[in-house]
Amino acid sequence: MRYADHMSEPISERTQIVGLSDGLLVIHRERIWSDGAKLGGDFMCAPGVVPWLADQLERAANEQVSEVAFDYPPDHLVLFVRGGDRGNPINIHVHNRRDTAAPHGRTYTLSAMSTQVAEALARDLRAFAG
């Protein structure tokens, strides 16, 4: 029997826009696994990133892009897709390497979003942007 046969599986995921904090958009993401583990955290970026992020999440969910980067200093974003091979579903990831000298400067991630969650987040981002 393979090790992977005994691995925990994600049973739910939640991604929601929290709002603005110190002028930055905050998105909270949490995944709950079958063994009870909860993984997640907050993603932060400048509100000016929102239109690009919404567009790219939709493109990734529709398999129109596999990796794309965007600089909006002090934010430096990369969106990429993994999976889709051997019958596995695709997962969409977003990393924001926010300059360390900027307020809340560090790397933020939205990891392993399903296409459905990415599409819902894109809709929420558009609504947030008004």
Identify the bridge partners of residue 24 per DSSP, sorted by sequence position: 21
* pLDDT grade for 8, boundaries at 50, 70 and 90: low
Determine how many CB atoms are found less than 10 A away from the CB of residue 93. Answer: 17
Q: Break the chain into its structural domains and give their ranges.
A: 3-129
CATH architecture type of domain 3-129 = 2-Layer Sandwich (3.30)
Give how far Cα 103 sits from Cα of 47, 53, 68, 74, 87, Å. 14, 20, 25, 9, 42
Quick: pLDDT tens for 91-107: 899 999 999 999 999 99
Quick: pLDDT tens for 35-81: 877 788 999 999 999 999 999 999 999 988 889 999 999 999 999 99
Distance between CA atoms of residues 6 and 21, nearest Å:
40
Residue 33 has pLDDT above 60, yes or no: yes
Helices (H), the chain: 50-61, 115-129
3-state DSSP helix/strand/coil percent for the chain, to nearest 5? 25, 45, 30
Quote the pTM value: 0.86
Residue 1 has pLDDT above 60, yes or no: no
Residue 72 near residue 56 (C-beta atoms within 8 A)? no
